[in-house]
A and B are shown apart, each in its own frame.
Chain A
């Protein structure tokens, strides 16, 4: 029996979803760990893009603490600025985008701006869209990455910072004028979700060993769809995967945070 924590499972699972020879827009923290793990295991030719302007680095100076960290620029093929990174995305060079988010609803819309009724007088203010607004709009597919916590999976969010499928209507994204296909997976420490092609609603695909569907539902404010073909077990990291993941973040900057139960 292999012992692993919540964030190690998220990093491993996100890595597992990435395919070799694709391009990935990377956010701070777990996405970096997932991408480096993928690079070192099943996807050696995966191309990473960082919003401050670094394209295809080989990150050998250690784990960056921010997407703006000078470390994300190590041995890049191309290094420019934010305009380049986002315009490459808009142009169609980027397959996947990794997005975190304070809150997500059943259509994959995310709030990273504020809680409260009044935009100019919020009860809680978050940092804002950052790069995620553009990634959610224009990466071909987006992968959400966050622990499964009730406060994060909300029936209704106050503010849509990063577009998902909007209200679920078939042409929502087209009317919005965005170019990417939209949310593809939501990776959490004990469940993986996808989205139903017709209703655009979030759908439970995989559950971690040792957990039941009810355990998942207990940690959500809304009910996900359950696929007719049933729910698969999440695959667990092998000791070698954990060694690689822990080597990437030896101090546990991202991996040793706590998850709300």
Chain B
């Protein structure tokens, strides 16, 4: 047998979530047959986030699917905020806008209801529509610990985890200040002699993902940009998936090439039309810019004046006064929703 060279883990290194070893053990121990995972959003969040978090001895790492304001798991996030009892969590994603910002907003309103301890990420904001004010406020006031990567960095970390390997070499981060603050290390490639940058895998405890189409076992089809959803789902130890429309398993088997997430990665499937509203979901609807601006301006006012009322009003109106996400969608004028469908213009495959 070849002799392994020993190298100690870097100083202060800590996984901000389950270790690769623990993640492997969880995957091996879980059921892998086809069984019906269709359940209410309430039950899914209660079982796989709130209760999982309470059982966890360390900060629960939640991976967020989608990208910036595309196909974000909005309905799941609203349900998390509605239920509360989610403490000291870690968020991991490449780029995110609305979802991470309202979670932080909810923490700023009541940290006993929901609180975020750490974020590992590449980018936070709403692109053209503005900056993520709650995120900025929380980082500027050291309320949340942060770890910065590039979009590829976070994607590659999920990919490494999905591959079942504990790290991945990449060709960015080196030579930037990120290498002094994040968990990666620069190393010489033993084969080429080139310097490369190693990133540790990122296994979220649970990932939250919105797909367009799924069957009740958890096989998911994703249309439009895939973002990092397939890698994320395999990286995470549990997955909650919402979908615009449920289809029978026989349809999945008709075009198996279209399956982006395999059933045994998934723990809960919830059919939730408009589940990514107000962000865009290919094949179903475009952004509701007006609505996004409502949240963005509430956050902006808070960061500027310190007044919490605009955040509270938004969360009360669209989350706390609603029993379900359908109640939230019911508050949006029908004509506006119809317009968003028209603005999309894409065609998902459901047959």
Contacts and interface: CB of A to CB of B under 8 A. Distances in A.
A228 interface: no
Given A73-B224, A73-B282, A81-B225, A134 B176 contact: no
B70 A68 contact: yes
A129 B197 contact: no
A113 B135 CA distance: 13
B48 interface: no
Interface string B217-235: 0000000111111110000
Contacts of A123: 140
Contact of A81 (B131, B172, B186, B229): B229
A23 interface: no
B287 A83 contact: no
B interface: dominant SS: mixed
A118 to B, nearest CB: 9
Contacts of A125: 135-136, 139-140
Interface size class of B (residues with CB under 8 A): 35 or more
B155 A83 contact: yes
A210 interface: no
Contacts of A254: 128
Interface in A87-119: 87, 90, 109, 113-114, 119
Interface in A150-189: 159-163, 166, 172-179
Contacts of B204: none
Contacts of B289: 65
A70 B224 contact: yes
B68 A161 contact: no
A interface: dominant SS: loop
Given A66-B127, A70-B280, A134 B151 contact: yes
A207 interface: no
Most B CB atoms within 10 A — which of A52, A68, A159? A68
B35 to A, nearest CB: 28
A133 B121 contact: no
Contacts of B129: 65
Interface in B71-99: 94-95
Most A CB atoms within 10 A — which of B140, B146, B152, B155? B152
Nearest to B180: A119
Given A130-B123, A130-B151, A137-B172, A66 B145 contact: no
Contacts of A204: none
Contacts of B135: 125
B252 to A, nearest CB: 20
A55 to B, nearest CB: 10
A254 B224 CA distance: 24
Contacts of A79: 224-226
B132 A127 contact: yes
Contacts of A137: 150, 171-176
B121 A128 contact: yes
A65 B279 CA distance: 12
11 contacts: A66-B128, A68-B69, A70-B70, A70-B346, A86-B156, A113-B178, A129-B123, A130-B123, A133-B122, A160-B176, A161-B148
The 8 closest A-B pairs by CB, nearest first: A176-B175, A133-B150, A177-B195, A81-B226, A52-B225, A130-B123, A86-B152, A68-B70
